[in-house]
Amino acid sequence: MKIAFMFPGQGAQSVGMGQDLYEKYEEVRNIYEIASKISGKDIAQISFNSTIEELSKTENTQLAIATMSLGILKILEKNNIKPEITVGLSLGEYPALISGGYLNVEDGIKLLKRRGYLMGTKVVPGNYSMAAVIGLDSTKIEEICKEISEKGMFIVPANYNYSGQTVISGEENAINLAMDILKENGAKRVLKLQTGGPFHTAKLNEAKELYKEELAKAKFNKENIKAQVIKNIDGTFYNKQDDMVDILSKHIISPVRFDKAIKTMQDNDIDTYVEIGPGKTLTGFIKKENKESNVININSVESLENFIETINNA
């Protein structure tokens, strides 16, 4: 069995996520305590008892999702369950780097605290929107975005989720125009998303530059790593020569290439894809590429214990 651990990003959150895990496992509670102490936020309170509006604030969401994922990861590590490859979607890259041994938990939480704040506040003012484009080749989507941009409106691809879905981000009027043009050009569906921020675009350039200062304080380990980690920025593996500060700061303004990450996992013969954290977004992407893929979601005590039992029996 060749396992990949996958960690979700913003949009997977829901009020109450991780509460049963928190109540059952002391190790999970310890992760929440560490995250709360470092961030100055009560992550358990935000995750279990706040409103969806409060939880969905970028500075809260990034910490809450990562903390839940890291709590589950701690139990898997306790049971000596290890992946061959780890990967995350946007903020999920940080639990992936921790799982792979590149970062410790404390530095990861410090980085996500700063990252979430900067991405939520250091944005060029504007009226932004995002839309998922389904069933149209990404090169065609890029062409249409470029044509609209040449008319003086801001619009770019922000997330390449899998071969059949790309998320575009931009000014509200540009997204509205693009939705009609994309449908005319053969897109099966174009869906406006709840998330409105221009994440992974040049509109966050100030956030990128300020984030470098925080990244420079972190200690990145490149020796004796525990698993290979796939970069969001290009879908390749991190290596010893990589400039982590440069890559992770550029990640804020660069498209997420989860489509390439899927290809990398397939090329490396991964046969079991395990999504660790809230929601089922990433396993959904995997199944869209190959319906026969063995996908597992760990987002509750029951699913965690079932997975541990499956591995032990194997």
Q: Give the residue numbers annotated as catalytic, written as ranges.
A: 90, 200
Q: Strand, helix or coil at 139?
A: helix
Report how far Cα 237 is from the mean position of its chain's Cα atoms.
16
What does the block give as tokens for 68?
């839940």
Interacting residues of 265 by C-beta distance below 8 A, sequence separation 6+: 4, 85, 87, 230, 273
CB 293 within 8 A of CB 287: yes
Do strands 3-7 and 272-276 pair parallel, antiparallel, or not at all (unpaired)?
parallel
Where b means 16+ CB within 10 Å and e means fewer, 222-238 reads eeebebbbbbbbebebb
CB 90 within 8 A of CB 19: no
Cα(72)–Cα(22) distance, integer angstroms: 10
CB 299 within 8 A of CB 279: yes
